[in-house]
């Protein structure tokens, strides 16, 4: 079994929304590593957060033409992390150890992504509709929850909890049975489709209306989920939830939706209703034990209706074992 950090370091994870990274360097955290990210002339850069000279916090530094300049003594680092300037001795050679650990960094889909390993094991998720100009997006503030990234994805994929946890938002307490559904295993993830009779709140005191909604779930391992909502009453939209692991027991989730750009009122409705829905999830998820995503099925009992989160967990266990995600796991 590989360690948590070893298993997930070779994947890309979001560490910030693009709109959070302005002209100042920004602190980030991923799999136990403290990072600083900043905008270079040509893209984004991610390095260790603390200066190689005497450990100052580079988030307090400045982005200058040559790179990132520490505020303590002005040492300046290029985007590959190597020190390019030591102002206290301008003529002397720069010591070879004067470098920051630097990591792969990319900006895509409104997010800053980082991969800590020397070689990424997989490309970024493929979400062309976010780049072809056909959709607008609206993001929630980062969800800062004390749960594991794997448990976060499982709750996004959990079909059965809708009628229980989401009572009062969109859950339909009349619909407790989950009809059988198929889960397609893909080389990089999973796909499943169900229809759920969500409850849309009635206007002006009218009783809630059933909004038959087709839900299409797509997972890209290890921690990205895309969830397309095709309701009959409410607006068609797609939710993207990407959990970014800080440690085995703590994550932040980047959560946003794409929608038709003509729906001007969508962002307000989405943010308000989604925050209420996610608060219902958070209360349950933060209280789950163990906090770490279980590495086997021995401590919990699953049934057929849990098929999608189970298949997801199988894939995550495969990654921890260093196996392909679509291969069967012994036991
Ligand atoms: S600690 Fe950063 S330049 Fe000295
Ligand atoms: Fe939920």
Pairing assessment for the beta strands 67-69 and 76-77 based on DSSP bridges: antiparallel
Residue 4 Cβ contacting ligand 1 at under 6 Å: no
| CATH code of the domain covering residue 35 | 2.102.10.10
Pair 199, 281 in one domain: yes
Residue 120 is assigned to a structural domain of this protein:
no
Q: Judge if 293 and 144 occupy the same domain.
A: yes
Quick one: 38 and 158 in the same domain?
Answer: no
Report CA(160)–ligand 2 centroid distance (Å): 9
Residue 125's pLDDT is 98
Report CA(198)–ligand 1 centroid distance (Å). 56
| Residue 192, domain member (yes or no) | yes
Same domain membership, residue 153 and residue 15: no
> What local confidence, expressed as pLDDT, does residue 49 receive?
98
161 Cβ closer than 6 Å to some ligand 1 atom:
no
* DSSP per-residue string spanning 203-258: GGGPPPEEEEEEEEEEEETTTEEEEEEE-SSS--EEEEEEEEEEETTEEEEEEEEE
Cβ(56) – ligand 1 distance below 6 Å = yes
Instruction: Please give the number of the atom of ligand 1 that sits closest to the Cα of 61.
Output: 2
Q: Do 300 and 155 lie in a common domain?
A: yes
Residue 218, phi then psi, degrees to nearest 5: -135, 130
Q: Where are the beta strands (DSSP E) in 116-236?
A: 136-139, 143-145, 183-185, 189-200, 209-220, 224-230
Regarding the beta carbon of 50 and ligand 1, being less than 6 Å apart is answered no
Ligand 1 atom with the smallest distance to the CA of 70 is: 2
Smallest-distance ligand from the CA of 68: 1
Q: Are residues 86 and 157 in the same domain?
A: no
End residue of a domain, out of 55, 89, 115: 115
Please give the angle made by the CA atoms of 235, 280 and 285, to the nearest 5 degrees. 120
316 occurs within a structural domain: yes
Residue 122 inside a domain? The answer is no
Ligand nearest the Cα of residue 153 is 2
The protein residue whose alpha carbon is closest to atom 1 in ligand 1 is 54
d(CA 325, CA 189): 7
96 lies in a domain? yes
DSSP 167: B
Residue 327 covered by a domain: no
Q: For residues 81 and 61, what is the distance between their CA atoms, to the nearest angstrom? A: 14
> At 220, phi and psi to the nearest 5?
-115, 120
Q: Cβ(155)–Cβ(281) under 8 Å?
A: yes
R_g of the chain, CA atoms, integer Å: 22
- Number of domains observed in the structure of the chain: 2
Atom of ligand 1 nearest to the CA of 51: 2
Same domain, 270 and 147: yes
| Binding site membership of 54 for ligand 1 (Cβ less than 6 Å) | yes
Q: Considering 84, 115, 146, which residue would you say is the last residue of a domain?
A: 115
Give dist(CA 31, CA 123) in Å, integer: 19
Cα 43 to averaged position of ligand 1 atoms, centre (Å): 24
From the list 95, 71, 92, the residue with the least C-alpha distance to 83 is 95
Cβ of residue 87 lying under 6 Å from some atom of ligand 1: no
Pairing of strands 44-48, 189-200: unpaired
DSSP-derived secondary structure for 83-110: EEE-TTSTTSPPPTT-B--EEEEEEETT
Ligand closest to the CA atom of residue 61 = 1
What number of residues does the chain have?
331
Whether residue 144 sits in one domain with residue 28: no
CA angle 55, 113, 25 (to 5 degrees): 40
Same domain (yes/no): 270, 138: yes
User: What pLDDT sits at residue 327?
Assistant: 66
d(CA 155, CA 256): 16
The answer to whether residues 244 and 221 touch, using CB atoms and an 8 Å cutoff, is no
CB-ligand 1 contact for 70 (6 Å cutoff): yes
Among the bound ligands, name the one nearest to the CA of residue 74: 1
Verify whether ligand 1 is closer than 6 Å to residue 302 (CB atom). no
Task: State whether the beta carbon of 77 lies less than 6 angstroms from ligand 1.
Answer: no
Kindly state whether residue 328 falls inside one of the protein's structural domains: no
Does residue 75 line the site of ligand 1, with CB under 6 A?
yes
Question: With contact defined as beta carbons under 8 Å apart, do 190 and 308 qualify?
Answer: yes
Residue 250 domain boundaries:
128-320
Give the whole-angstrom CA distance, residue 158 versus residue 140. Answer: 20
Assess whether 67 and 216 both reside in one domain. no
* Ligand number with the minimum distance to the CA of 72: 1
Domain with residue 305: its CATH number is 3.90.380.10
Find out whether 242 and 111 touch, Cβ atoms under 8 Å. yes
Residues 132 and 97 in one domain: no
Judgement on whether residues 110 and 156 belong to the same structural domain of the protein: no
Q: Which atom of ligand 1 approaches the CA of 86 most closely?
A: 3
29 within ligand 1 shell (Cβ under 6 A): no
Choose one of 115, 150, 172: the last residue of a domain: 115
In-domain check, residue 54: yes
Encode the chain (331 residues) as per-residue pLDDT tens digits: 999 999 999 999 999 999 999 999 999 999 999 999 999 989 999 999 999 999 999 999 999 999 999 999 999 999 999 999 999 999 999 999 999 999 999 999 999 999 999 999 999 999 999 999 999 999 999 999 999 999 999 999 999 999 999 999 999 999 999 999 999 999 999 999 999 999 987 777 888 899 999 999 999 999 999 999 999 988 999 999 999 999 999 999 999 999 999 999 999 999 999 999 999 999 999 999 999 999 988 899 999 999 999 999 999 999 999 998 876 555 4
Structure tokens that stand for 311 in this block: 């298949």
The span from the CA of 221 to the CA of 122, in Å, is: 9
């Amino acid at each position: 079994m590989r360690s948590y950090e070893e298993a997930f370091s070779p994947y890309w994870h979001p560490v910030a929304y693009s709109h959070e990274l302005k002209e100042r360097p920004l602190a980030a955290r991923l799999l136990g590593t403290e990072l600083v990210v900043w905008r270079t002339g040509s893209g984004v850069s991610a390095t260790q957060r603390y200066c190689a000279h005497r450990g100052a916090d580079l988030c307090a530094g400045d982005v200058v033409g040559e790179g990132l300049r520490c505020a303590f003594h002005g040492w300046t680092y290029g985007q590959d992390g190597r020190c390019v300037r030591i102002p206290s001795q301008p003529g002397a050679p720069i010591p070879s150890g004067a470098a920051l650990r630097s990591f792969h960094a990319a900006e895509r889909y409104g997010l800053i992504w980082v991969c800590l390993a020397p070689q990424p094991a997989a490309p970024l998720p493929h979400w062309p509709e976010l780049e072809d100009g056909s959709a607008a997006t609206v993001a929630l503030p980062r969800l800062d929850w004390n749960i594991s990234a794997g448990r976060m994805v499982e709750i996004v994929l959990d079909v059965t909890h809708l009628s229980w946890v989401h009572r009062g938002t969109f859950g339909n307490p009349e619909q407790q049975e989950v009809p059988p559904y198929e889960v397609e295993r893909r080389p990089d993830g999973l796909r499943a489709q169900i229809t759920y009779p969500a409850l849309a709140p009635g206007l002006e005191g009218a009783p809630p209306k059933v909004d038959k909604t087709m839900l299409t779930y797509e997972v890209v391992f290890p921690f990205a989920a895309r969830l397309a909502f095709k309701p009959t009453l409410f607006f068609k939209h797609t939710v993207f939830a990407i959990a970014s692991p800080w440690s085995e027991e703590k994550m932040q989730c980047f959560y946003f939706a794409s929608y038709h750009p003509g729906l001007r009122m969508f962002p307000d409705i989405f943010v308000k209703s989604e925050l209420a829905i996610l608060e219902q999830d958070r209360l349950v998820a933060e209280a789950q034990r163990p906090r770490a995503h279980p590495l086997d099925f021995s401590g919990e009992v699953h049934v057929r209706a849990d098929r999608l989160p189970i298949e997801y967990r199988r894939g995550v266990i495969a990654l921890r074992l260093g196996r392909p995600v679509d291969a069967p796991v012994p036991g």
